[in-house]
Each structure stands twice: as C-alpha cells, then as structure tokens.
Amino acid sequence: MRFLVDAQLPPSLAKALRIAGHEAFHVADFDLLAATDQRIWKLAVERSAVLVTKDQDFLLLRTARGDGPTILWIRLGNCPNRKLIAQLTQALPAIVDAANRGEAVIEFVAR
C-alpha cells in the first residue's frame, strides 16, 4: 500500500510504514511542508496514496467531494512519536484492510 504522510506528523512515521513493507512518503520528501491542502491532496491522488493526516480539513474535503484519496485520520492529543508509531504499526493490518475495502475515511484513535 502507498501512504503520503502530512506535515503535522513526523517523517519517522513514513519510515516506519516503509519498514512495515509499504511505500510511504512524507510531504517533506517533496518539499511540501508549507504546501496548501489542495496541493497535498493532488499529490495523494497522483500517487494513489492513502493520505495520513491529523488535519480535519482533509476529512471534510473528502466528504464534500465524494472522491479522492482514502484519508487515514489520526486522532490523538499530544503523545510521543514513538508511541504513535507503535500504536499505528500495531493497527496497520486493519488499516490496510479498510483501505483495500475502499473506505473513504479511516479514523485512527491512538490511546
């Protein structure tokens, strides 16, 4: 599976996804840290990537448009990157399954 990790999330998340056997990029890999939501959206579509984000704007955009990339919406407060990565990695099989089923939005709530 291919993932594009948004700017509010650490580049180490993309690295962890690659280690787990997926193709994953962070927006920083494309010099898009300050890019508009529209530009990031377009890149996710071009790459057929699941857009991994904490930004609710992408969820709203996906809902309003009815098409576009699958959104993996990360819902968590402040927590160490290591904890986020460990929890997401553990949930990855279910996330991939949901994306393969064509879910438009996958909500991930870290504990």
24 pLDDT higher than 90: yes
Q: pLDDT digits over 67-85, tens only?
A: 999 999 999 878 889 999 9
Mean pLDDT of 59-69: 90
Give residue 18's Cα distance to chain centre.
13
State the average pLDDT over residues 60-65: 89
Return d(Cα 45, Cα 71) in angstroms, integer. Answer: 11
* Statement: residue 26 has pLDDT above 90: yes
